[in-house]
Chain A
Amino acid sequence: MKHTDVIVIGSGLAGLTAALASARQGKSVTLLSYGSSSLSLNSGLIDFLGYDDSHKAVKSPREGIMGLPETHPYSKIGMEEIAEAVDFFRDFAKEYHMPYHGSLDKQILVPTAVGTLKPTCLAPHSLAGSESLEGKKKIVVAGIRGLKDFYADIMVENLKKSLGDDLAYETIEIETPLTGGRDITTLDVARWLDTPEGVDSFSKQLLAYKGKKDTAVIVPQVLGTKGHACYLTVSSRIETDIVETTGLPPSTNGLRLNAMFRQALRDNNVEIVENTKVIGSKCEGKACKCVIAEAGVREKTYTADKYILATGGFYSGGITMRSFDQPEEPIFHLPVYSVKGEENWSNEQLFSDKPQGYAKTGIMTDETLRPVDEQGQHVLENVFVVGRDLGGYDLCFEHSGNGVALASGYKAAKM
């Protein structure tokens, strides 16, 4: 039986952060992962709090967080640790060649692929929308020939609403050698831009805007897969601000962030076990003794002093529900909070300014992120819960997904 100081279950942003922060404290860490990290789907932008409970835009996430109810994960984590987590992440990102901008005190507004603006807190240079767009007189939206899911014309229509009619708008289309085969994705274009020929061709096609300080070029998430190297090269060649949008999966920026984490975990000797789904645990009293994971045709047992549960809640199989009103956490059988009563479970209007009741389903913890029962008593002393497994918040409604994942992952590592 393999023993390490810490076992982290799940390799989304919460698990990756918990594993890295634990290793940086000198702990030996095993990361048990199933499926590639979900960072290939999400933008890798760190939202902390975009909207309050009446769906009003939050100007300062720091202030917004202070006003949250005590059942919210942020209230458990505490502002001091949230701020430390931000510093930790920014230091890591800088060290691994894709510095993130922003702070807890204001929002960065990032253009989406349809031209709306989405609030976030921390973003790499290439995605730091409003920071680069401020004061511009002209916006050039550059689509890619053959790339679906990015419609420059629709984008301009919406940008006019969000940035103003008074700016000049122009759309162009970039040619690539990628056409003629399957439908291309942003990831295909980004990989082309990892090559010298790609960067040359791409930059050349933008030369018309060279040195125009009052102009910004908006492109889909295509500026390479390796940190911000490609962004730096292209911007220095065209000497004009260039801005990426968010978009549909696969997300290039999420993949960049994932690759950085993997490199950092390797550099810090974290053992990553791939393709192993944790299916149970053995506990004595309030202590978990081991977890059991599928290893192909057989099972394998892993032991640690401390276990961090980062299995992604409802969305990623960390919480399951076979019968209504009875959500389960399959590994430790932790108590799962959910709203009571079928009528409160969902809000009929999928896209509205009201939250969805079911979205707050998750595991409740105390300030140390140890799971608690309805009476607030610890269920297990050496298990910590992070990310989307946590109950009491609606990440889609309030735009807080990666913020909670990052802050809770960091805090659990410290405990």
Chain B
Amino acid sequence: MSEEKDKAIYSADHCLSCTSCMSSCPVMEATQEYRGPKLVGPAHSRMHFSQEDYEDSLDFCSNCKSCDRACPSGVAVSTLNMLQRGEYYRTHPHKQRDQMLAHGEDMGKLVRSLPFGAACANLGMKIGKSLGVFGMLGIAGKRDMPSYASQSFYSWFKGYKQQPSDKKVVFFPGCFINDNEPQVGIAFVKVMQKNGYEVLVDQKFNCCGSPMVVTGYLDEAKEHAHNNVARILEWKAKGIPVIACCTSCSLMLKEEYGELFGEDEMHEAGANVYDAFEYLAIMEEKGELNTSFKEVKESLMYHVPCHLKSQGFGTPAKDILEEVPGVSVELADAGCCGISGNFGFKDDKYEISMKVGAKLFERINISQADEVICDCGTCRMQINHGTQVKPCHPIEILAKAYGE
């Protein structure tokens, strides 16, 4: 692993001012108000970490990481932005909405602790939306908040009987799959069972911290990192890998902790974390993937999330699903969807978020594909909001191919 990747702040000096990151930044494309990754990231952070100085337009960065991927010199541009944002909020008050947007996990827990909590919360959000409460809070009024599933993933998991096995993996559902789209986690468990694996869960895991990092709650995110890293290392000691289906969770657990906070254990733990399809592809390389697929007659359009692209292992979901008889996969290749976690939920960023997503929406709207697939939960919400199409996670198609 190259040195400069290990901690973001050391990477600023690798910047050659080449402008590659600027050409790739979707937010710069959508608004003239953002000064862009080169100036706000490496150039400004060099001064900022030693001076009381803040670049106002930093607020526009969505942490989509397109800039990092564009940079030929290994500068961790987006992480420099997030570190500066965190630094700012150490001494400045947060906006009212930030609390809610950064703490979906707490909301989820609260909802689950109440009788009929999910139904009430969904209703509450509908009412809240129609009364304009979200707008008052600074949350984009045009958007639906993610609705809560009647049963969380963890609660489903407790009642599900698995075939025991010596081959085990720990599943990290993340807040969104646990509370809002448990069907993704369920599909994952079934897929692993079909491959002779037993899936474990660990409820001592916290939210990965991604929503906190982007909202500037850096210290809190670091506490989550410490807890999660300790958990991952404990599983590592037992030889059991941790797997996530949400690409923002896996990126945070694998790489961003290390980049943001630079502690050795974070890198060590990161190496024990896998994205679901990354893991399935490794199994396939070893000849261990169950490939007795049933026919699934579906043409799929695949939006590859930014945070998956950043992980640098290509698109194994495409490769594996194309082996299923009847399935064809076409890459949307239309850039960032624009939502970037909670970015698109902020009322003042809503327009930008929709402008960024426009290319993808258009591509999906004119596509003849039967279904849209995407590994990231918030991307799926954005696609649904921008096109009315309801996408699913690629693991759900794979579960279908196993007859589940």
- Once the chains bind, are B313 and A35 in contact (CB under 8 Å)? no
Interface string of B16-56 (1 = CB under 8 A from A): 00111011100001011111100100000000000000000
Bound together, the chains give a CA A34 to CA B72 distance in angstroms of 6
In the complex, B2 has a CB within 8 A of chain A: yes
The contact string, 1 if C-beta is below 8 Å from chain B, for chain A 257-286, is 000001000100001011111000000000
- Interface check B366, CB cutoff 8 A: no
Cβ of A180 under 8 Å from chain B: yes
Query: In the complex, which of the residues B18, B23, B310 has the most CB atoms of chain A within 10 Å of its own CB atom?
Result: B23
State whether A276 touches B35 (Cβ < 8 A): no
| A273-B313 in contact (CB<8A) | yes
Q: Which residues of A contact B331 (CB under 8 A)?
A: 266
CA of A298 to CA of B255 in the docked complex: distance in angstroms?
A: 10
Contact indicator B333/A266 (Cβ below 8 Å)? yes
Contact (Cβ within 8 A) A255 B312? no
A294, B312: Cα distance in complex, Å: 7
- Residue ID in chain A nearest B66 by CB atoms: A36
Contact of B285 among A1, A250, A266 (CB under 8 A): A1
Task: Give chain B residues whose Cβ lies under 8 Å from the Cβ of A178.
Answer: 32
| Surface stretch bound by A, among B152-160, B217-225, B267-275, B339-347 | B267-275
Q: How many chain B residues have a CB neighbour from A under 8 Å?
A: 42
Q: Name the interface residues of B333-358: CB closer than 8 Å to any CB of A.
A: 333
A34 to B70, CA, bound (A): 8
Are B267 and A271 closer than 8 Å at their CB atoms? no
A35 touches which of B20, B36, B273, B278 (Cβ 8 Å): B20
CA–CA, A255 and B278, complex, Å: 31
Chain A 207-219, CB within 8 Å of chain B: the 1/0 string?
Answer: 0000000000000
Q: Could you say which of A119-127, A183-191, A404-412 contacts chain B?
A: A183-191
**A287 in the interface (beta carbon within 8 A):** no
Q: Are A298 and B271 in contact (CB under 8 A)?
A: yes
- Nearest residue, chain B, Cβ from A178: B32
- Which B residues are in CB contact (< 8 Å) with A250? 19-20, 22-23
Residues in A with CB closer than 8 Å to B273 are 297
Which residues of chain B are near A2, meaning CB under 8 Å?
A: 285, 319
Known contacts A182-B33, A249-B19; A316 and B72 CB within 8 A of each other? yes
Residues of A within 8 A of B33 (CB): 181-182
Q: Is A229 an interface residue (CB 8 A)?
A: no
A41 within 8 A of B: yes
Q: Which residues of A contact B270 (CB under 8 A)?
A: 297
1-54 of chain A: CB within 8 A of chain B? 1-2, 34-36, 38, 40-41
A182, B36: Cβ atoms closer than 8 Å = yes
A37: nearest residue on chain B (CB-CB)? Answer: B20
Proximity string of chain B (52-96) to chain A, C-beta cutoff 8 Å, 1 when within and 0 when not:
000001000000000011111100000000000000000000000
- Check: B254 CB closer than 8 A to any chain A CB: yes
Contact status B72-A300, CB under 8 Å: no
Contact yes or no, A191 B29, CB < 8 A: yes
Q: Are B20 and A275 in contact (CB under 8 A)?
A: no
Interface bracket on A: 35 or more
A295 to B33, CA, bound (A): 34
CB-CB under 8 A for A275 and B23, given A181-B31, A182-B33, A191-B29: no
Cβ 8 A contact of A273, one of B1, B32, B36, B314: B314
Within 8 A of A (CB), among B240-296: 251, 254-255, 267, 270-271, 273, 278, 285
- Complex: how many Å from CA A296 to CA B313? 8
Instruction: Report if A36-B23 is in contact (Cβ < 8 Å); known contacts: A262-B333, A276-B312.
Output: yes
A252 to chain B, nearest CB (A): 9
Q: Is A69 an interface residue (CB 8 A)?
A: no
Tell me the smallest distance from the CB of A266 to a CB of chain B, in Å. Answer: 6
User: Are B312 and A295 touching (Cβ within 8 A)?
Assistant: yes
> Cβ of A188 and Cβ of B313 under 8 Å apart?
no
CB nearest to A263 among chain B residues: B333
CA distance A1 to B315 in the complex (A): 14
Knowing A266-B331, A294-B1 are in contact, say whether A41-B20 is a contact too (CB < 8 A): yes
Tell me if A38 and B72 are in contact (CB < 8 A): yes
Q: Please, which residue of chain B has its CB at the minimum distance from the CB of A248? A: B19
Query: A298 vs B270: C-alpha distance in the bound complex, in angstroms?
Result: 9
Contacts of B112 in A (CB 8 A): none
A96 to chain B, nearest CB (A): 15
Contact status B271-A297, CB under 8 Å = yes
Which chain B residues lie closer than 8 Å to A298 at the CB level?
271
In the assembled complex, A135 has its CB within 8 A of some CB on chain B: no
Smallest CB gap from A38: residue in B: B72
Partner of B70, one of A36, A182, A297: A36
> Could you tell me the distance between the alpha carbons of A187 and B126 in the complex, rounded to whole angstroms?
41
> Nearest chain A CB to B376's CB is how many angstroms away?
16
Tell me the bound Cα distance from A38 to B32 in angstroms. Answer: 24
Residue B311 at the chain A interface, CB threshold 8 Å: yes
Check if A36 sits within 8 Å of B20, measured CB to CB.
Answer: yes
B165 to chain A, nearest CB (A): 24
Name the residue on B nearest A187 (C-beta).
Answer: B23
- For the complex formed, measure the closest distance between the CB of A278 and the CB atoms of chain B, giving whole angstroms: 11
CA–CA, A297 and B229, complex, Å: 15
Contact residues in A for B312 (Cβ distance below 8 Å): 273-276, 293-296, 300
Interface string of A159-188 (1 = CB under 8 A from B): 000000000000000000010111011011
Q: Are B72 and A317 in contact (CB under 8 A)?
A: yes
Q: Is B309 an interface residue (CB 8 A)?
A: yes
Closest approach, in angstroms, between the C-beta of B158 and any C-beta of chain A?
31
Choose one: B69, B251, B255; the contact of A274 (CB below 8 Å): B69
Closest to A258 in B: B23
Q: Report chain A residues within 8 Å CB of B72.
A: 34-36, 38, 316-317
Complex contact A277–B20 (CB within 8 A): no
Give the distance in Å from the alpha carbon of A295 to the alpha carbon of B35 in the complex.
30
- Docked-complex contact A296 and B311, CB < 8 angstroms: yes
Q: How far is it, in angstroms, between the C-alpha of A178 and the C-alpha of B270 when the chains are bound?
A: 43
> Of B34, B36, B69, which one neighbours A275 at CB under 8 angstroms?
B69
Known A36-B23, A250-B23, A255-B23: A180·B32 in contact at CB below 8 Å: yes
6 closest Cβ contacts across the A-B interface? A35-B72, A181-B32, A36-B70, A273-B314, A295-B313, A276-B312
Beyond known contacts A296-B313, A297-B255: 9 more, CB 8 A cutoff: A2-B285, A38-B20, A182-B39, A184-B32, A188-B32, A191-B29, A250-B22, A273-B312, A275-B69
Chain B residues with CB under 8 Å of chain A are 1-2, 18-20, 22-24, 29, 31-36, 39, 57, 68-73, 251, 254-255, 267, 270-271, 273, 278, 285, 309-315, 319, 331, 333
Residues of A participating in the B interface, judged by any CB pair closer than 8 Å: 1-2, 34-36, 38, 40-41, 178, 180-182, 184-185, 187-188, 191, 249-250, 255, 262, 266, 271, 273-277, 293-298, 300, 316-317
In the complex, 22 of the A-B residue pairs with CB atoms within 8 angstroms, ordered by the A residue number, are A35-B69, A35-B71, A38-B20, A38-B72, A40-B70, A41-B20, A182-B33, A182-B34, A182-B36, A185-B22, A250-B19, A274-B69, A275-B68, A275-B309, A276-B312, A293-B312, A296-B251, A296-B313, A297-B255, A297-B270, A298-B271, A317-B72
